[in-house]
Chains A and B, each alone.
Chain A
Amino acid sequence: MSNATLDIILLLAKIALVFFVILTMAAYLVLAERRILAWIQDRKGPNRVGPQGLLQPLADVIKMLTKEDVRPAGADKWLFYLAPAMAAIPAILTFAVIPFGAPVILFGRELPLVISDLNVGLLFFMALSSIAVYGVAIGGWASNSKYALLGSIRGLAQLISYELSMGLSLVPAVMLSRSFRLSDIVNAQAHVPFIVYQPLAFIIFLISIAAECKRIPFDLPEAEGELVAGFHTEYSGMRFGLFFVGEYINVIVLGGLAASFFLGGWHGPWLPAPVWFIVKVLAFAVFFIWMRGTLPRLRYDQLMHFGWKVLTPLALINILVTGWWLMLR
């Protein structure tokens, strides 16, 4: 077997593995969310399908796939059908740049545990997170429904409120590691994770990614109390499922990014690298679920106010202070 063939096979195997792990994690995150949310509310949550409800994701998938796929009258056919994919694909694509372990030696060659170690990985993530909102915007617009349109407008307004502070909060991480490459950023934290130097940037990033994955308290585009289900009101069956899964993949991916930027990625004592990575990702996921069980939804103007008047100036000041500190060091 030639070297090129082996490379391609290894790469495909890596992609398949990552796909499998992420989709499984996303499916079980739904169950975890329902169970933990239930515990927070002194309930038990789904525990009927399989032991402790462990087969619930499977039952949900069967339900989603066998449901009728409704397209509302007057909806824009192609955009309506495309939007769920446009929401889910950028979320999965972002994982391509996240390193999830130290390079391993396999068949006599070094295999980096990252699908594509782009030298502009951080910018790639920023670009994809902006693209992801197109799924929301187009899905809401193509549905030909008031609630969906209001949800998608909120999604766009939310994007311009948090995106800037999210980008600015990552600048100190880039300044400290002197690279846009995610594996460089992770390796720069081999001894001390950046959260120690940059607690403020970490908090700003955490708030921004909660807004990015449209979770309470920033679930304005969905807002089931006000907008039925927001941008995915008119979706049913697996198309709704795709939005749903995309959201949970987003939680995993953004948790992975937060771990990579501030918590030292896969670095950690005793345990093997991928395990550390998964533990950190799950910690973020659990935190998001916990936050959902605690906080109420922000109002539309409160989010804009918070993003533009609090987070963005704070992030800018943080960059200035980091710059001074780096210069004086």
Chain B
Amino acid sequence: MPLLTDTKALLLGFWTTWKHIFRRPVTIEYPDEKRVPYPRFRARIVLTRDPDGGERCVACYLCSAACPVDCISMQAAETDNGRRFAAWFRINFSRCIFCGLCAEACPTMAIQMTPDYEICKREIMDLVYEKEDLLISGCGKDPEYNFYRHAGIGVVNRRGGNPDEEPPVDPRSLMP
């Protein structure tokens, strides 16, 4: 009988909403109480340093290439001993969608996501972070990792100067 089922459905609906009146609201009243994000929460991006205190970033442009909204830009440069670094490094947080692809792409663990989600500014230009704003003094999530211990040995000693290494070859000499 439709009348009975309809009435039952109606009363069930009223009962459900009545119960919810007395349920605790799920609201977090933001400025007063702040949610603690999970450690892997993706928010403000930082540039980390290796355990020896050097910059991890080797300005390889992979993060910039991976970025779907093109908010990362930099200029690569080299020190006297051949070690690469970013002359300037800029992240435009007004474009950033916090997808984390840059951190995934980074071969040296330099660029990392932090759980600090409170980046609101009144001026949109204040959201463009330069290298000195991005660089932190710590190692971030992987404190042991040092890129130059695994690769780029030639930077510390001149190329070909290490044991078990051939001297560099002039590629033009190999031409037929």
Give the residue name and chain of the A residue nearest to B10 (CB): A295
Q: Which of B16, B17, B26 contacts A43 (CB 8 A)?
A: B26
Chain B CB within 8 A of A293 CB: yes
Of A38, A39, A43, most buried by chain B (CB within 10 Å of CB) is A39
Q: Hey, which bits of chain A sit against chain B, CB under 8 A?
A: 36, 38-44, 290-291, 293-295
Q: For residue B14, give the distance in angstroms from its CB to the closest CB of chain A.
A: 5
Give the residue name and chain of the A residue nearest to B13 (CB): A294
Check if A40 sits within 8 Å of B29, measured CB to CB: no
Q: How distant is the Cα of A221 from the Cα of B5 in the complex, in angstroms?
A: 29
Check if A42 sits within 8 Å of B23, measured CB to CB: yes
A44-B25, A44-B27 are contacts. A39–B13 as well, Cβ < 8 Å? Answer: no
Chain A CB within 8 A of B20 CB: yes
Give the residue name and chain of the B residue nearest to A286 (CB): B21
Give the residue name and chain of the B residue nearest to A36 (CB): B21
Check if B29 sits within 8 Å of A44, measured CB to CB: yes
Q: How distant is the Cα of A30 from the Cα of B16 in the complex, in angstroms?
A: 23
> Which residues does chain B contribute within 8 Å of A295, judged by CB atoms?
10, 13
Q: How distant is the Cα of A44 from the Cα of B23 in the complex, in angstroms?
A: 11
Beyond A40-B20, A294-B14, 9 extra complex contacts between A and B, CB < 8 Å:
A39-B21, A39-B25, A40-B17, A40-B21, A41-B20, A42-B24, A44-B27, A290-B21, A295-B13
Chain A CB within 8 A of B18 CB: yes
Check if B17 sits within 8 Å of A38, measured CB to CB: no
The 5 closest A-B pairs by CB, nearest first: A294-B17, A44-B27, A39-B21, A44-B25, A40-B17
A-B contact pairs, 24 of them (CB 8 A): A36-B21, A38-B25, A39-B21, A39-B22, A39-B25, A40-B17, A40-B20, A41-B20, A42-B24, A42-B27, A43-B25, A43-B26, A43-B27, A44-B25, A44-B29, A290-B17, A290-B21, A291-B14, A293-B17, A294-B13, A294-B14, A294-B16, A294-B17, A295-B13
